[in-house]
Amino acid sequence: MSNKIVLLGAGLAVAAFSLLPFTWFVLTSLKSPSEITAIPPEIVPGFYWGFYRSALENYGLLRYLRNSVIVAGATTLACLAIGSLAAYALARFHLAWTRYYLLLLLMLSTFPQIAIAGPVWRILNSLNWLNTYHGLVAAYIALSLPLAIWILTTFFSELPYEIEEAALIDGCSRLQALWKVVLPLAAPGIFTAAILIFIHAWNEFFFALLIVTSPDRQTLPVGIALFPGEYTMPWGEIAAASTMATLPLVLLTLVFQRRIIRGLCAGGVKG
C-alpha cells in the first residue's frame, strides 16, 4: 500500500510540474495589463479577455491557426498514405534487408535539423517552393515519414496474416486487402502515428522559420515568436496565443487518449 501511495504521489508531482508552465500561461492570458505587471504577482486572474481579442484582431492569430491546420493536416495525411504502403511492403514481403532499412529510418529520424537545413533549403529554392504550403509540407514529410513507417511496420507485423490471406483467396487484390482488412485492424497504430505526426508538424519551428518568411504562410510557432514589437513585449497576447495554440493538442490527446495508449502498447506486445 505504501508503494502505491509513493508512486501516486510521484505521479502527481510530475504531472503538476509538467502542467505548471501551461497553467501559468493560461492564467496570464486571463489577467488585465495591471495584473500582469503587479508585484507581488497575482495568482487568480480577473478574467480579462482583451488579450485574446487583441491576438486575433491585431496580431493575425487566426491566419497562423489556419496555416498550421493546413500544413499539419496535409503532412499527416501524406505521411499516413505513403507510410502505410511502405510499412505494408516491409511487414508482408519479408525482404532480407528489412531490418537494416528500419534501422536506417530510425537513424534518419535522429538527425539534427540544422544538419539538413542547407540541402533542404536549396532543393526547395530550386523548385520555387519557398514561402509555399507544399514546400513546408514536403519538408515535414521528409522529417516525419521515417517515424510513421517505423510505427506502422511494427503494427502490420503483429497482425495475423491468415485474415489477410483469406481476403486474398476471396478475390481481393493486395491493395484491397490493405484497405479493407489491414488498415481497420491496425487502427490503433494508425491513430498513434497520425497524432504524433500532427503534433510534430503543429509544433515544429525551425523549418517553418527557414522555409516560410511571408506572414501569409507562417505557422503558429513562428507567428507567436514574432509577436514582440521593437520596444514592447506583449506578454498578454503571447500568453493568449500560446493557450489557443496548445488547447487543440490537449483536446486531441484527451479525446483519443485510449487509442494512443492502446496503440503505443500494442506494438510492444508479441501476440
Comparison of pLDDT for 61 and 172, the residue scoring more:
61
Whether 263 shows a pLDDT value over 80: the answer reads: no
pLDDT at residue 139 above 90?
yes
| Annotated domain spans of the chain | 1-48, 51-266
Tell me the per-residue pLDDT of 16-57, one tens digit each, with 9 for 90 and over.
Answer: 888 888 888 889 889 988 888 888 888 888 888 999 999 998
CA distance 39 to 175: 65
pLDDT higher at 114 or 208: 208
Highest mean pLDDT among 130-139, 143-152, 252-261: 130-139
Question: What letter represents residue 170's amino acid?
Answer: D
CA angle in degrees (0–180, nearest 5) for 238-244-250:
125
203 pLDDT band (50/70/90 cuts)? very high
φ/ψ of 94, rounded to 5, equals: 50, 50
Mean pLDDT of 224-247: 86
Instruction: Tell me: pLDDT of 190 over 80.
Output: yes
| Beta-carbon contacts of residue 159 (< 8 Å; ≥ 6 apart) | 91, 182, 185, 186
The topology under which CATH files domain 51-266 is MetI-like fold (1.10.3720)
Contacts (Cβ under 8 Å, ≥6 apart) of 147: 105, 109, 193, 196, 197, 200
What number of helices (H) and strands (E) belong to the chain? Answer: 15, 0
Buried b (16+ CB within 10 A) or exposed e, 188-226: bbbbbbbbbbbbbbbbbeebbebbbeeeebbbbbbbbee
Residue 271 has pLDDT above 80, yes or no: no
Task: Name the DSSP class of 39.
Answer: S
Amino acid at residue number 232: T
pLDDT tens column, 91-115: 888 777 888 888 888 787 788 888 8
**Quick check: 270 pLDDT over 50?**
no
Give the per-residue pLDDT at 265.
67
- CB 158, CB 182: distance < 8 Å: no
pLDDT at 24: 86
One DSSP character per residue, 45-59 reads -----HHHHHHHHTS
User: What is the pLDDT of the chain when averaged over all its residues?
Assistant: 86
* Confidence band, pLDDT 50/70/90 cuts, at residue 201: very high
pLDDT: which is higher, 111 or 242:
242
Taking only the tens place, the pLDDT of each residue in 57-91 is 888 899 999 999 999 999 999 999 999 999 988 88
Asked whether residue 268 carries a pLDDT value surpassing 60, the answer given is no
What does the pLDDT read at residue 52?
Answer: 92
pTM as predicted: 0.86
Q: Is residue 35 within a helix (H) or strand (E), and if so which, with residue range?
A: helix 33-36
Return the SS3 of 270.
Answer: coil
Model confidence at 228, in pLDDT bands (50, 70, 90)?
Answer: confident
C-alpha cell at 86: 511502405
Buried b or exposed e, range 114-131, using 16+ CB within 10 angstroms: eebeeebbeebeeeebbe
Closest CA to 168 of 182, 156, 154: 182
Q: d(Cα 64, Cα 68) in Å, to the nearest integer?
A: 6
Are the CB atoms for 80 and 190 separated by under 8 Å?
yes
